[in-house]
Structure 1
Amino acid sequence: MTDTYQEVHQQPAVWRETAAMLASRSTRIGEFLEPILAQPDLRIVLTGAGTSAFAGQILAPALSRALRRRVEAIATTDIVSNPQEMFAENVPTLLVSFARSGDSPESVAAAELAVACLRSVHQLVITCNADGQLARKHAADPSALVLLMPPATNDRGFAMTSSFTSMLLTAWLILAPQQDLQLADQLATATERLLARADELTQYATRRYERIVYLGSGPLGGLARESALKLLELTAGQVVSYHDTPLGFRHGPKAVLDERTLAVVYLSNDPYTRQYDQDIATELRAAIGADNVLVVDAQSGDGDSALQIEGAYGVNDTLLALPYVVIAQLLALGFSVALGRTPDNPFPDGEVNRVVQGVTIHPLRS
């Protein structure tokens, strides 16, 4: 059994452990966040690199709606290369950093650049590594709060799996107003049922698809991007993956479809949005055949659904991304094994590394 396999399958247990940790620290979390969130002109920036950046992309649309304020997802890679543009508006800012290791050069530099560019900044560090630079640097900072995920989330495998979902869950539960920590148990139970049916996804890996397209709307657009990255990572680029929104896909990217393409459509729980998701699913079935379209849904009674996530009906699309992404992780694992790759280390020659290397952080000159 590979580490990656274990880390995918441990996620329900990790989510329950994460919720218990948040409950135990609820007083400290409230003391830190409540005065910050009370600022009427506060800007919230969600940041990270790669998969950690996509956590922000999933969260930002729904958090903006829930908090009725501006919430933006900006990758650390964009902050580091263009800090004066990313922090052009000098307003009170809460920088929320997602980091598995906390040792990526851009993660550390983005936090420092926020302080250099802004007159008022607080930092919320959500990380899986107590020994990482990001955690150690901000542990004693009165303007910062470090939230450590359960130790098992510091994935040993190459790809981020349980680290990603635990950090995403944490941010939603503490930043979105009036959240019930029992949601973690509900999602864990739904995902346990899904994992018990993991073999249903094996058939797709055996079909030797050359391309996979992931489509999702709103928060699920960020999920589509993360899904595409998981496949690229675990197959070392041998299976090409694409991502888009259902409406955006028609505007050119649809040209990627051919007879060796699998399309995965994530259906929203929002009744208005899901109409567009269902429309593209119907169109794709007509274009490439129903057998080549995997529709993922949390609602029952929809005859178009190929795979239903039981027990996730009605949850916000941000949280729906948790069981949905497990499907993408399982597909990536299946394709990796089918291609003879090693999921824990798909790049044995070091072309791509678990913690990014080779980045030079240049000094900022005003």
Structure 2
Amino acid sequence: MYLTEKEIFSQYHALRQTYDYLLANAQQVRTLYEGHKPRSLTFVGCGSGYCLCQAAETSTKLRLGLPANAVAGGDLLVNFAHYEQLLQGSMLIAPSRSGGTSEVVLAVKKAKAMGVPVIGISAKEGSPLGELADLSLEIPWAFDESVCQTRTVTNLYAANLALIAILANDQRLLAEIDEAINGGPGFMEKYTGLAKEIAAADWEKVIVLADSELDGIAKEAAIAFSEIPQIAANYYHVLDVRHGPMVLVDEKTLAVVALSPEEYTLQRDLIRDLKGRGAKVVTISHTGADWGSDWQVDVPRYANYGVAGIPFIFIPQAVGLYKALNKGLNPDLPAGLEPMIDLGN
């Protein structure tokens, strides 16, 4: 068994540990937050981590009612002077697999020098990020040995969401995260066969469509397709795909579409248009909806839409894995990709 497969299918075991760990450290999180009373939250990450930061930015605005920003680690490092005003009075949160990616570590050092409090979330113990942070949250059971992140991504996504719930004292959000984790093993068992079927179909490029709190995790899904089966993939907002990208949709396109429980007709018509251009479409949405897609994946209708991102990401991860195996690729070692970027500093 490849590491990537092992890590994808063990992600819910790790998620249970991550959830329990966040709850056990909730008071430390609240104490730091209440001690600084930040006027905003700033999320900083690279690659997959940055996608998760974008998801957390949206969830913070919707769930905590606080201004929030996501900044790519390299952007913040190179253009720190551009962001100094944004960082004034903010709290910085940095999710990272290794806790050692140079862009994030060096950017955090600059932020610390101007007095910005930092929460680091890393899947490695004793990392450089952890040493810099005012509060270091370490989830080593979620660390991916494979170059491509899967289990780590899902755990950092859930950790960000749980962190926001803790700060907002949102017990319903915490309960729904718990519910999603409990249902995860059964969800994977139910849809593994479907993932293999989708992977065996004839398609050569991917578009991932999603909105609202699933924006960031859907961007990560596109990265997963690029890295694991090495297939060109792009992310767009659901209805926004008509504004240009639709011209590239054809019979060689797989569309992975996360659909909201809102505005059924508008979204159903979009699926019709994708199908009309020959795309193969898998829809991921609340149970009971009929979208006219080739494949339908049902997730519970959570009151907090961001929770749906936890089961959602399994589908592109699993489809990407099986597509890579069908192509004869080693999903653990994509050529030209490193698990951590070290700028030599």
TM normalised by structure 1 equals: 0.87
CA distance in 1, matches of 2:250, 2:273: 14
Which digits, 9 at most, give the CA deviation of each residue in 1:96-137, with x for residues without a partner?
A: 001100111101011012134x4x411010111013211133
CA distance in 1, matches of 2:239, 2:289: 24
In the alignment, is residue 249 of structure 1 matched against residue 241 of structure 2? Answer: yes
Q: One-letter code of the match for 1:110?
A: A
In the alignment, is residue 203 of structure 1 matched against residue 203 of structure 2? Answer: no
Q: 1:72-151 counterparts in 2 under 5 A?
A: 72-89=69-86, 91-116=88-113, 118=114, 120-138=115-133, 144-149=134-139, 151=140
SS in 1 for 2:207: strand
Structure 1: which 5+ residue stretches go unaligned?
139-143, 362-366
Q: One-letter code of the match for 2:129?
A: L
Q: One-letter code of the match for 1:288?
A: G
Structure 2 partner of 1:234: 228
Structure 2 partner of 1:155: 144
**Change in 2 beyond 3 A, CA 1:281/1:301:** closer
> Where is the helix percentage greater, Structure 1 or Structure 2?
2
Which digits, 9 at most, give the CA deviation of each residue in 1:248-297, with x for residues without a partner?
A: 2111111221221111111124x25x6544332222122225xx111111
Q: Is the 8 A contact 1:46 1:74 kept in 2?
A: yes
Structure 1 partner of 2:14: 14
Q: Is the 8 A contact 1:211 1:240 kept in 2?
A: yes
Q: One-letter code of the match for 2:339?
A: R
CA distance in 2, matches of 1:59, 1:168: 8
Q: Is the 8 A contact 1:221 1:245 kept in 2?
A: yes
CA distance in 2, matches of 1:111, 1:206: 43
Q: One-letter code of the match for 1:297?
A: S
Aligned with 2:322 (options 314, 325, 334)? 334
SS in 2 for 1:209: coil
In the alignment, is residue 170 of structure 1 matched against residue 155 of structure 2? Answer: no
In the alignment, is residue 355 of structure 1 matched against residue 340 of structure 2? Answer: yes
Which digits, 9 at most, give the CA deviation of each residue in 1:72-93, with x for residues without a partner?
A: 1111121112111123345211
**Change in 2 beyond 3 A, CA 1:244/1:301:** closer
SS in 2 for 1:288: coil
Q: Is the 8 A contact 1:98 1:127 kept in 2?
A: yes
Structure 2: which 5+ residue stretches go unaligned?
none
Structure 2 partner of 1:286: 276
Q: Is the 8 A contact 2:45 2:96 kept in 1?
A: yes
Q: One-letter code of the match for 1:131?
A: G
**Change in 2 beyond 3 A, CA 1:179/1:57:** same
Q: One-letter code of the match for 2:192?
A: A
CA root-mean-square deviation: 2.0
CA distance in 2, matches of 1:15, 1:50: 21
Q: Is the 8 A contact 1:246 1:276 kept in 2?
A: no
Identity value in percent: 22
SS in 2 for 1:341: coil
Shift of 1:51: 0.4
Structure 2 partner of 1:321: 309
CA distance in 2, matches of 1:280, 1:301: 14
CA distance in 2, matches of 1:115, 1:184: 31
